[in-house]
Structure 1
Amino acid sequence: ALNLRELNSSSCLWLRVSHSEWTNFALQSMENGFPCIAGKASENALLSLNKDSNIEPESDEYSEISDAAEKVRRLRDSAASLTSAHSVQAQGAEYLRSKELRILRRQTRPVKNSDCTGSNLFRDGINKRNERMLQHLRSIQMFRDLEPDLRCV
């Protein structure tokens, strides 16, 4: 409705939408969870304020208009940050950023430089031998548990 009034205001000046109406609409849009619409309304409020900026800088009206413009800019910036936080493009960019960070963390991890000294190789060999013996004994034990007890017959 405000956009239609603004379009028709060129022929009928009394239909012109003031910056306070645009600001109120932007605030209500933000409160109701429509930051994209609030951003556009605050842009229109700034345009309306620029049309009214033919006032001398020393007057009281100028300070009021500059305060209102600052308030509208803050509203526009908060709407833009909320809009960009929920957009698919922003979510995709955030995902790619986190993915790059994960890849960089993997690449920058200090590589464990194990010295291939004789004592390390000997210890690793003993550990592997012990694991093989343990697996062998477990498989023998499993076969014993599966065979029927021939002594009881």
Structure 2
Amino acid sequence: MTFSILEAALASKDVKSAAEIRSALKEFLRRETLAIIRETSEKSFDHKLLIFDFFVRAFALIGDVENWLALRYEAFLMRDENASYDVSLGVSVDEWLAFAEQSLDNGFYSVATKACDKALLCIHGNNLVDSEYEDFHHESTIEKIKRMKDYSMILASSKSVQVQASNYLKKKNVEQPKEQNSVKSQTRTSGSTLFRNGIKARNLRKLQELQCLQTVPL
């Protein structure tokens, strides 16, 4: 599959058809990505990086932000792991910062936090690819990254609380009808019991009255 084919497939003027095609392509690419990455596990680093680069571009083209970011992050980690053999492979501060901002903008706050950590590590560890990045040691840049990290952590925490609250409300909405049914059942049972007891008491009184009448001398 080439990018020209993807672009042609997504070029439909029919909004509904375009959405359906995009959805189908997402499912196809997600499935194929996993299969192909498994197949390339024993391949060379360069080969793996080419595969990752292809799928990163493909997911970007079809608008699958989650997988686009996930594969970019994995590719960055692969590059950093192999930077000891080739310094040019190391991920720059610029790249980590851009990735952090894109993750933040798209709502992936935990990923943005990790990217900020990588950017700070890149600076403090002096793991810089090019001398032009020396100015990133400037305190203002470090503070900028730290502020972005703090903001990402706050948003991630807030999102987590919202998810927990949403899950609680969903659970509550499911349990509430059950509780109401249980109360209704208990009410019906209680009412039925009282009714039967009332009839028994009335019948007992009538029996006692009848017995009294029978014992009265004529």
TM-score (norm 2): 0.36
Structure having the larger proportion of residues in helix = 2
TM-score (norm 1): 0.50
Higher CA-based Rg: 1
